């Protein structure tokens, strides 16, 4: 039990033992060159620290070491399934390495993202892991961050010409594969696609994947209807579906989780049901998929793996190599594999 809780610092415990703060610091951090300090001193110090209820002040430590053992996690919306699961694993893996994580929700707002990014630098995080909506615009900031000796890791959203490691899934290949298998299974009529901001390279890649499949199936793109505006929100998914439905598509691709949710919601409100009234295939799993009346084929992302990799890159001392790490996505269809 702490005695003078909350107000004990290194000096206190040093004076208490008639030692120097230096000694205490080194012992408490196991940072003594090589087999120095007698065992007895070590014991005494540790005991005293516990007894006095010493809690190191990470601020002071960070200031003097220029190392905070913190990372910033910047995502569009932590409440979305993908980022939620990502965050859990990421935070866990970071913690395993002694790191704490700041959370920022950008809501895909560019200005807000910039503010958060700089805020994180001011807080001297050692690294920031970001699913950025800035695209190539982020280059300048990355350089800045590197000048400050901070690591930057991008994930989820693709971007070109970026001087930072980038962790994504193989959006195009995965979507193409999914589309191919779906297109093969029957004649389809009009094909609808629900996507978000066309400037989002990840979404663009997914769309390309679909185009690849259409080409291979010798389907004219004239049968392709694309609803692409704004964000990847459920609201936009609803709106897009509504818009798409005017073309009575036999097959609908949704390119992001929230879009899918919105699309299904709107379909239901039109008394339509995926599987019977139209076929649905989508990128990423979505909540409640398991209890739709039919199986919805989807591209399943290796979220946990992404999060682990990002945590590793962010929490290792060395500057991570600038490379695009492309993870293979899986295919999901049958319910309840969670």
Partner DNA sequence: CTGTTAGCGCATTCAG
Partner DNA sequence: CTGAATGCGCTAACAG
- Which residues bind to DNA, rule: CB under 7 A? 9-11, 18-23, 25-26, 28-29, 31-33, 35-38, 41, 54, 56-57, 60-61, 63-66
Binding partner of 178, given its own copies, DNA, none, CB within 5-8 angstroms per partner class: none
CB 315 to DNA: min, Å: 18
Applying CB under 8 A, which of residues 147, 187, 246, 318 lies at the interface with its own copies?
Answer: 147
Q: Does 294 bind its own copies (CB under 8 A)?
A: no
Question: Residue 56 corresponds to which tokens in the numbers above?
Answer: 């190191």
Binding track over 253-292 against its own copies, x by CB under 8 A? -----------xx--xx-----------------xxxxxx
Binding partner of 217, given its own copies, DNA, none, CB within 5-8 angstroms per partner class: none
The Cα–Cα gap between 80 and 86 comes to 10
Q: In 174-271, where do the E strands start and end?
A: 191-195, 224-228, 251-254
The Cα–Cα gap between 250 and 78 comes to 33
For the chain, give the longest Cα–Cα distance: 85
Pairing of strands 166-169, 127-130: unpaired
Nearer to DNA, 64 or 338 (CB): 64
Binding partner of 65, given its own copies, DNA, none, CB within 5-8 angstroms per partner class: DNA
The Cα–Cα gap between 338 and 329 comes to 16
CB 8 to DNA: min, Å: 8
Binding partner of 68, given its own copies, DNA, none, CB within 5-8 angstroms per partner class: its own copies
Pairing of strands 251-254, 191-195: parallel
Helix (H) or strand (E) holding 234, with range, is helix 234-245
Please name the residue ranges forming H helices in 29-170. Answer: 39-52, 58-65, 81-96, 110-122, 139-147
Instruction: Looking at residues 51 to 110 of the shown chain, list those that interact with its own copies (rule: CB under 8 A).
Output: 53, 55-60, 62-63, 68, 70, 73, 77-81, 84-85, 87-88, 91-92, 95, 100-105
Contact 145, 179 (CB under 8 A): no
CB 198 to its own copies: min, Å: 25
Question: Residue 148 corresponds to which tokens in the numbers above?
Answer: 């400050």
CA separation, residue 130 to residues 6, 9, 215, 311, 334 (Å): 35, 36, 34, 11, 31
CB 33 to its own copies: min, Å: 25
Binding site for its own copies (CB under 8 A): 1-2, 5-7, 53, 55-60, 62-63, 68, 70, 73, 77-81, 84-85, 87-88, 91-92, 95, 100-105, 116, 118-124, 140, 143-145, 147-149, 234, 264-265, 268-269, 287-292, 335-336, 338
């Amino acid at each position: 039990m702490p005695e003078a809780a909350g107000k004990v610092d290194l000096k206190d415990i040093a004076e208490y033992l008639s030692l120097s703060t230096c000694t205490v610091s080194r012992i408490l951090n196991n940072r003594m060159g090589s087999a120095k300090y007698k065992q007895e001193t070590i014991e005494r110090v540790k005991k005293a620290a516990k007894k006095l209820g010493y809690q190191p002040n990470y601020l002071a430590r960070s200031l003097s070491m220029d190392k905070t053992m913190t990372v910033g996690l910047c995502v569009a919306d932590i409440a979305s399934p993908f980022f939620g699961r990502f965050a859990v694993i990421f935070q866990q893996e970071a913690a395993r390495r002694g790191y704490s994580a700041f959370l920022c929700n950008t809501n895909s707002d560019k200005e807000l993202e910039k503010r958060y990014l700089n805020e994180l630098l001011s807080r001297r995080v050692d690294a920031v892991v970001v699913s950025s909506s800035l695209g190539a615009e982020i280059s300048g900031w990355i350089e800045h961050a590197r000048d400050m000796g901070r690591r930057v890791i991008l994930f989820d959203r693709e971007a070109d010409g970026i001087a930072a490691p980038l962790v994504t899934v193989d959006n195009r290949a995965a979507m193409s594969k999914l589309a191919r298998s779906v297109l093969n299974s029957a004649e389809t009529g009009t094909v609808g696609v629900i996507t978000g901001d066309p400037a989002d390279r990840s979404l663009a890649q997914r769309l390309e994947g679909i185009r690849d499949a259409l080409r291979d199936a010798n389907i004219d793109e004239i049968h392709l209807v694309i609803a692409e505006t704004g964000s990847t929100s459920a609201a936009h998914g609803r709106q897009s579906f509504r818009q798409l439905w005017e073309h009575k598509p036999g097959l609908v691709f949704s390119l992001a989780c929230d879009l899918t949710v919105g699309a299904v919601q709107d379909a239901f409100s039109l008394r339509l049901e995926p599987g019977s009234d139209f076929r649905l295939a989508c990128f990423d799993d979505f909540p409640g998929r398991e209890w739709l009346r039919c199986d919805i084929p989807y591209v399943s992302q290796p979220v946990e793996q992404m999060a682990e990799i990002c945590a590793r890159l962010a929490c290792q001392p060395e500057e991570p190599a600038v490379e695009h790490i492309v993870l293979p996505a899986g295919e999901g269809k049958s319910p309840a594999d969670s």
